[in-house]
């Protein structure tokens, strides 16, 4: 035996050495298994209530798509456009009756069938160059007077409806017009220039061989219609004198090319004799026979021992 060494007998070292090997193997096995268990353990997942996650598996997951810009479209004004886009048609619109009425009350763009005329009346006598005009003043007599001053002339106006125009020798001729007096002294009450039964007449008829006459005066609106027989309409002569006289207002025929104005009286029998204009003592008259009228004169003013002369006249419309 060598000095300083420890001798171990086989009976003492063999069991402990085996035990040491067994313990080392067990420790190695435990460490290995622990490492394998940690590696195999899954990461914790997001938890959800029981029964909810299983229900979600029945719905397909939506995939994210790239947004595509759509070009804007105009307003869908028609049902065809709406149907093409897969939309329902628009509901019907109820129209208000008042809107239709208001549209119909608007003035029409159709040209008016009337033509308006405005002017003065020039009176001419045969063989005289002196111009005469119908006076705008009545001088409180209810008569129509004549003068020579254009500044004092009566202004009249009238319209020519197409239904009243007729062709006479290829010219436009207005029949049965009413003349509106714009500035006559009695025009407010009696605005229409018409014919009134003479104050000394025994009836309302005139004609060849008859001394009966008519005086010009104002007639109240609306006057009398064309071709009317004499009627007791309100007039300036009756208003001033108190004598109830017949009258007519739609008595003027107008040649729209030459301006010639001619009166036309209608008798009670509806005959229409030629009607002449004349003046005496500056008062404007009309009649069917100037000679018979002159021969039967029983009224008037005497000047220097002789009666005023009867002067036939022609009337012309002069536009202003």
DSSP 201-222: -SSS---TT---EEEEEEE-TT
Task: With residue 293 as reference, give the H or E element that holds it.
Answer: helix 290-295
Interacting residues of 267 by C-beta distance below 8 A, sequence separation 6+: 204, 205, 206, 207, 229, 230, 273
Interacting residues of 175 by C-beta distance below 8 A, sequence separation 6+: 164, 166, 226, 253, 264
Q: Is residue 132 part of a domain?
A: yes
Range(s) of the domain holding residue 245 = 116-299+311-319
Q: Is residue 239 part of a domain?
A: yes
In Å, what is the CA distance from 9 to each residue of 13, 14, 19, 278? 7, 9, 17, 189
Tens of pLDDT along the chain (320 residues) come to 444 444 444 444 455 666 666 667 666 666 665 555 544 455 454 455 554 444 444 445 555 555 545 455 556 567 666 656 766 666 655 454 444 444 445 555 555 567 899 999 999 998 888 889 999 999 888 999 999 999 999 999 998 765 455 544 445 889 999 999 999 999 899 999 999 999 999 999 999 999 999 999 999 999 999 999 999 999 999 999 999 999 999 999 999 899 999 999 999 999 999 999 999 999 999 999 999 999 988 655 444 444 478 999 999 999 99
Q: Is residue 175 part of a domain?
A: yes
pLDDT at 65: 52
Q: Is residue 208 part of a domain?
A: yes
CA 179/CA 158 separation, integer angstroms: 5
CA 181/CA 176 separation, integer angstroms: 16
Strands 252-255 and 260-263: antiparallel
Q: Is residue 69 part of a domain?
A: no
Q: Is residue 96 part of a domain?
A: no
Cα R_g (the chain), whole angstroms: 60
Q: DSSP code of 152?
A: G
Q: Is residue 304 part of a domain?
A: no
- Number of domains the chain is built from: 1
Q: Is residue 109 part of a domain?
A: no
Task: With residue 294 as reference, give the H or E element that holds it.
Answer: helix 290-295
Angle of CA points 253, 184, 200, to nearest 5°: 70
Strands 132-134 and 116-124: antiparallel
CA 120/CA 124 separation, integer angstroms: 13
pTM recorded for the entire structure = 0.63
CATH number of the domain to which 200 belongs = 2.80.10
CA 75/CA 167 separation, integer angstroms: 59
């Amino acid at each position: 035996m060598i000095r300083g060494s420890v001798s171990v007998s086989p009976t003492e070292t063999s069991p402990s050495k085996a035990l040491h090997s067994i313990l080392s193997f067990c420790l190695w096995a435990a460490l290995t298994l622990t490492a394998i268990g940690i590696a195999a353990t899954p990461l914790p997942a997001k938890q959800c209530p029981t029964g909810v996650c299983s229900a979600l598996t029945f719905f397909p997951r939506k995939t994210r798509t790239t947004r595509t810009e759509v070009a804007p479209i105009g307003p869908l004004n028609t049902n065809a456009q709406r149907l093409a886009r897969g939309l329902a048609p628009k509901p019907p619109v109820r129209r208000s009756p008042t809107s239709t009425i208001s549209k119909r009350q608007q003035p029409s763009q159709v040209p008016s069938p009337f033509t308006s005329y405005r002017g003065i009346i020039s009176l001419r006598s045969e063989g005289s160059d002196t111009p005469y005009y119908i006076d705008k003043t009545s001088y409180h007599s209810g008569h129509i007077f004549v003068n020579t001053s254009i500044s004092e002339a009566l202004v009249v106006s009238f319209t020519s409806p197409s239904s009243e125009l007729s062709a006479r020798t290829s010219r436009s001729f207005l029949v049965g017009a009413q003349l509106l007096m714009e500035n006559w002294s009695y025009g407010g009450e009696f605005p229409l220039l018409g014919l009134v039964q003479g104050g000394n007449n025994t009836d309302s008829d005139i004609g060849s061989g008859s001394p009966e006459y008519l005086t010009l005066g104002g007639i109240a609106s609306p006057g009398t219609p064309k071709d009317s027989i004499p009627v007791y309409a309100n007039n300036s002569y009756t208003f001033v004198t108190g004598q109830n006289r017949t009258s007519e207002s739609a008595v003027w025929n107008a040649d729209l090319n030459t301006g010639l104005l001619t009166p036309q009286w209608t008798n009670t029998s509806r005959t229409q004799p030629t009607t002449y204009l004349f003046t005496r003592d500056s008062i404007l008259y009309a009649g069917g026979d100037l000679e018979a009228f002159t021969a039967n004169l029983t009224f008037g003013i005497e000047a220097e021992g002789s009666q005023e002369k009867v002067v036939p006249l022609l009337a012309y419309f002069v536009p202003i």
